[in-house]
């Protein structure tokens, strides 16, 4: 083999330069197989329910999906059967639906969130849905988050309840529970809480609700008496979002890097979806028409994709996705052959979206069911 001259020898410095150039090329060159759902659209999976006959392409009853993780596991609720009005929390994983059960023989349950470790949180109630108890489910076991202690610190009245809204990768749980600051003279005040390492921490002494927590332990929610309506709880401190540049905000979710989404009340009385980051609030707009309301329900952990719901020009409610600076009706991305996405609740880092679809295809059994939307690959 012919030897190289000194100028051709790959010195360490030259190798380092080649690596830097290669990394730069990879950074700016699009990945050929990367999915851009705004161009390619979504594949639709209508989730089964617990009593769907095998010969029916779509379940005969209703269901809803509320949360998902980065593995594509989905949680929500489904009716027991075509005749039983009770609902049960479910976990949908690898094409299989698992019933999670109820707490202590209660009639209903629903799952609100699942973390990347497969731990599920939600609530269980009696027939009235008013006496709610938060649960955590893992390794096929559902446990009462309150340990059997009544959610209200007096004998149950009709309006006493507690629920678990979200869970992060570390197992920290947030939600809302009833407190009784006046002793036996009254029932309860709704209070946002953090449950961590077996201990409850109430985040406010006024009426409040926690809606989401990220992996850094930052919590968002709403609080009565707050100038802007919303709060951001971090480093043990309660912060009004209005003081951080988000006036009139009601947060629903927070990403791993601290981006907050929800609904903001405008001066003209309209409500618009918003995205808040680094003390700047961005109005995400609406789907157009004379109905000018929208809400952002979730942001993926990376903070790159926002989803929510909005009124259309015809007055119906449609799910939407906001990516690359644009709000797009999801129904324009799935085609009209199946039905209408009427509610969206969560999105993961792969761009998968969960919510509800109203099935209108005459070849399928009609109804409103939990749905999973997966970006198509080129």
- Is the per-residue pLDDT at 360 higher than 60? yes
Each residue's pLDDT tens digit, 113-128: 999 999 999 999 887 7
Q: What is the pLDDT of residue 1?
A: 45
Distance CA 253, CA 294 (A): 15
> Which of 58-62, 76-80, 124-128, 152-156 is predicted with the least confidence, judged by mean pLDDT?
152-156
Q: What is the pLDDT of residue 329?
A: 95
- Is the per-residue pLDDT at 50 higher than 90? no
Buried b (16+ CB within 10 A) or exposed e, 200-218: eeebbeebbbbbbbbbbbb
- pTM attached to this predicted model: 0.85
- What would the mean pLDDT of 186-215 be, rounded to a whole number? 89
- What would the mean pLDDT of 59-72 be, rounded to a whole number? 86
Q: What is the pLDDT of residue 365?
A: 61
What DSSP letter does each residue of 202-268 carry, written as one string? E--SSSEEEEEE-TT--EEEEETT-SSSEEEEETTEEEEGGGGT-TTEEEEEE-TT--EEEEEE-TT
Residue-range domain boundaries for the chain: 102-202
DSSP designation for 292: -
Q: What is the pLDDT of residue 159?
A: 54
- What would the mean pLDDT of 203-232 be, rounded to a whole number? 90
Average pLDDT, the chain: 82
């Amino acid at each position: 083999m012919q030897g190289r001259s000194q100028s051709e020898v790959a010195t360490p410095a030259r190798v380092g330069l080649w690596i830097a150039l290669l990394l730069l090329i990879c950074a700016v060159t699009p990945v050929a197989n990367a999915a851009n759902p705004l161009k390619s659209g979504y594949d639709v999976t209508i989730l089964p329910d617990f009593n769907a006959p095998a010969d029916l392409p779509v379940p005969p009853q209703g269901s809803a999906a509320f949360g998902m993780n980065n593995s594509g596991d989905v949680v929500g609720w489904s009716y027991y059967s075509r005749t039983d009005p009770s609902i049960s929390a479910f976990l949908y994983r690898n094409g299989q639906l698992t019933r999670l059960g109820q707490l202590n023989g209660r009639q209903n349950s629903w799952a609100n969130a699942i973390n990347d470790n497969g731990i599920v949180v939600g609530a269980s109630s009696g027939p009235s849905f008013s006496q709610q108890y938060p649960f955590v489910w893992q390794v096929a076991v559902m446990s009462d988050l309150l340990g059997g202690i009544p959610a209200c610190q007096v004998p149950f009245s009709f309006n006493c309840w507690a629920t678990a809204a979200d869970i992060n990768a570390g197992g920290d749980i947030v939600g809302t529970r009833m407190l009784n600051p006046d002793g036996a003279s009254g029932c309860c005040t709704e209070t946002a809480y953090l449950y961590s390492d077996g201990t409850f921490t109430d985040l406010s002494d006024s009426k409040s609700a926690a809606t989401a927590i990220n992996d850094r332990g930052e919590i968002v929610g709403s609080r009565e008496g707050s100038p802007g309506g919303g709060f951001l709880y971090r480093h043990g401190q309660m912060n009004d979002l209005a003081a951080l540049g988000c006036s009139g905000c009601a947060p629903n979710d927070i990403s791993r890097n601290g981006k907050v989404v929800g609904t903001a009340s405008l001066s003209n009385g309209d409500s618009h979806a918003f995205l808040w980051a680094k003390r700047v609030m961005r109005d995400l707009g609406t789907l157009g028409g004379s109905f000018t309301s929208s809400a952002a329900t979730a942001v993926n952990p990376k903070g790159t994709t926002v989803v929510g719901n909005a009124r259309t020009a015809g007055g119906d409610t449609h799910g939407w996705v906001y990516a690359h600076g644009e709000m797009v009706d999801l129904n324009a991305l799935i085609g009209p052959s199946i039905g209408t996405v009427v509610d969206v609740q969560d999105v993961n880092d792969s761009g998968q979206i969960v919510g509800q679809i109203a099935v209108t295809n005459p070849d399928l059994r009609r109804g409103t069911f939990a749905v999973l939307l997966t970006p198509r690959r080129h």
